[in-house]
Chains A and B, each alone.
Chain A
């Protein structure tokens, strides 16, 4: 016991975060983006090793790209969610935004607009709904949990209303290519997901805005007194989350070549789970895009492995729950050890 407490008492523990090591180049960036994600990265690698041993097809290249393709919807939304959660906020509306914006894009394309306009409709609608979330929390001071819960309900209801509860399908090729095209033999969705993560990583770690996001989540009042535009930044993170959800909707709708009124139900919880598994604290101030990527991959790999092993779908959800629990448990234990020192 004494040792445990005392280890925390040592102030030498270095928090991997901004301003990282001086290494340059792709290797350096990769190393920096993954610092602090040690335990979860190890867990993912361990999972891969186990699956490689027990599931015959797991190690194939196509299977890996398949994991990323299947994770694209959660992954892209998780990039936006990471910003929100680092400010100590939450966005429960992403699932509904995906459904509604996908449906709006589908309906407008059925009405004859070209594919790229369909994409813009989804992105624009996502941005608008996210901005509504942000505006309500920052300027009216409503708790994000409540605002986004309300928007979750409104979004789902609107989706059902505009579609009359019907599935909409049949889109121009200029839209469906998103889910089907390949570059260098790898699905466009893989490139797209990685690009969104890369942008998210750079915005979060290297821009003034990113630093402000961390500061607000760490101590809102201190950030305000330091001259940081707290409202503007808080507003923007919800707008970003909405925009990412809109992009997730494009991915989902083009891949399925149809828009379902019930699409992405419960998606918000999987997205939040991925972000939290990746080490981002729900209390704000801590977290990283690299961690979220590993969290998304962990959930994706788990789903994939359980499918390869022919585990019944009911158990898949259970195992997912167990993994989420273990991840937050490890985090909670670490935190307790640290705070004992105080």
Chain B
């Protein structure tokens, strides 16, 4: 241990006492002015247990974790780690007690090597000199524990995939002697193979007696990896049970107090004429000869694994990245779309996948964010009409149910769900005929998700043609009328909603061949 142990550790001596319960949080209470963030939360995590924590954004998960990590001091309640009370006051105290939190934004230094990152701050040394050999040996041992036996310790972290970086974070925590590992949405940016690697490591750690607190919006993952799940709502725990006593429906119901089947409202719409048709669309090497069409009132799902070219396909249609080949037809007419504004002129709007970096302008107001694409419509001779600016903003806010104290509020301060509504409002303000949605509900809570679903269905019901990329199968299956599967930048299959299920999509997405794609293209034509 590089750091002097906290008072608890000193009493326990060199060896930690082994108890059945690794962590007890009791009556944790935390108030911010105007917000009662945690209302006497109890949490009990067993040794070697993987405890899932689920709940909507704002339910108090993050605050609870910050209390555990020592980033916040609770107003009331106590924390016991391995039978020793934790006087959590600072992150250093929590770390000394064996609690390691892996946040969504990883804390690795991209320009440094794997070993340097593992030993950041306490590189093995002999006198004043770094002991690189020792560092390498110890790094190998740590990497082996997280299944990265083959990773070069000298590789710069910059060159690693996100999934590997995530595992590196785990190794770093193990080096710090973590006994309780907290993972906050660890899979949000991972591919499915990487997720499986992470899960294997979590299972190994469980064998070693390390407890894991696993926070996720993905309920399938919670069911796959967790031994138990705790549901939080409005700053309180509403249920904590072994995983086999939960069902997806009961979990969601506990989270939102709402039944699951109402999550995807019924879809009875009339399909109109073809609104968008793409023929042999290409953007080498990411998009290859992609062809499909969408009708008015239809929701077309675009499925595929990460890297299948889904986002690139949408961006190419919208003019974000102009196509290198192929045709785009809107309402039967061929269009040249080389810029975003040419896309908008053709009635095509793209709603990006990553709200934070591509959607929201954090420093600007909600109003400003929503009218960004229609500035020309609310201005005369280059001057923005203040009255129309506000009335436009007001209308959009009401239509999309953006919850905020004022339209002048900074958009960066909104919750993920509300930010997504703002981005959607911006897109819909352009009155598009084709709406391209890229992961429209990524990282937002269940309540906000169902609101987004309703908006999407409303767009379709209003005669809009929707193309939706989503990595969440229930979402695709629940929303889309048809699903086109991409693999390696090519269309490898098309499934109607009636015959679609998760296995079928996965089969196409992971093992569909180019021949398959050619066949499907033929059927379409």
Contacts and interface: CB of A to CB of B under 8 A. Distances in A.
Interface of A: 1-3, 5-7, 9-19, 206-212, 214-215, 217-219, 221-229, 281, 284-286, 341
B393 to A, nearest CB: 8
B352 A208 contact: no
Contacts of A222: 352, 357-361
Nearest to A217: B363
Contacts of B364: 17, 214-215, 218, 285
A241 B439 CA distance: 40
Contacts of B288: none
Contacts of B410: 13, 15
Nearest to B390: A19
Nearest to B376: A208
B33 A215 contact: no
B311 to A, nearest CB: 12
B382 interface: yes
Contacts of A9: 32, 35
B316 to A, nearest CB: 13
Contact of A218 (B341, B363, B404): B363
B264 interface: no
B361 A227 contact: no
Contacts of A19: 365, 367-368, 386, 389-390, 393, 407-408
B320 A286 contact: no
Most chain A C-beta atoms within 10 Å of own C-beta, residue among B363, B375, B382: B363
B344 interface: yes
Contact of B341 (A208, A215, A229): A229
Interface in B351-389: 352, 357-365, 367-368, 372-373, 375-376, 379, 382-384, 386, 389
A219 B405 contact: no
Most chain A C-beta atoms within 10 Å of own C-beta, residue among B362, B390, B407: B362
Contact of A215 (B344, B372, B376, B406): B372
A10 B357 CA distance: 23
B12 to A, nearest CB: 29
B292 interface: no
B358 A208 contact: no
A342 to B, nearest CB: 8
What does DSSP make chain B's interface, helix, strand, loop or mixed?
mixed
Contacts of A219: 357-358, 360-362
A221 B409 contact: no
B34 interface: yes
B295 interface: no
B320 to A, nearest CB: 6
Contact of A11 (B350, B363, B368, B404): B404
Interface residues of B, number: 48
Contact of B363 (A5, A7, A286): A286
Contacts of B72: 2, 5
B141 to A, nearest CB: 36
Contacts of A214: 361, 363-364, 368
B73 interface: yes
A210 B365 CA distance: 14
A208 B406 contact: no
* 10 tightest Cβ-Cβ pairs between the two chains A and B: A6-B32, A285-B363, A218-B361, A11-B413, A226-B372, A218-B363, A227-B341, A219-B361, A227-B340, A208-B375
Contacts of A218: 361-364
Most chain B C-beta atoms within 10 Å of own C-beta, residue among A1, A221, A281: A221
B336 to A, nearest CB: 16
A209 B33 contact: no
9 contacts: A13-B410, A15-B365, A207-B384, A208-B383, A211-B372, A214-B363, A222-B360, A225-B358, A228-B372
Given A219-B357, A285-B364, 19 more contacts: A2-B72, A6-B35, A10-B32, A10-B33, A10-B34, A11-B413, A12-B406, A13-B410, A16-B408, A19-B408, A206-B386, A207-B384, A208-B379, A218-B364, A219-B360, A223-B372, A224-B320, A281-B363, A285-B363
B406 A226 contact: no
A17 to B, nearest CB: 6
B368 A17 contact: yes
A227 B344 contact: yes
B414 A11 contact: yes
B352 A225 contact: yes
Contacts of A212: 375
B8 to A, nearest CB: 22
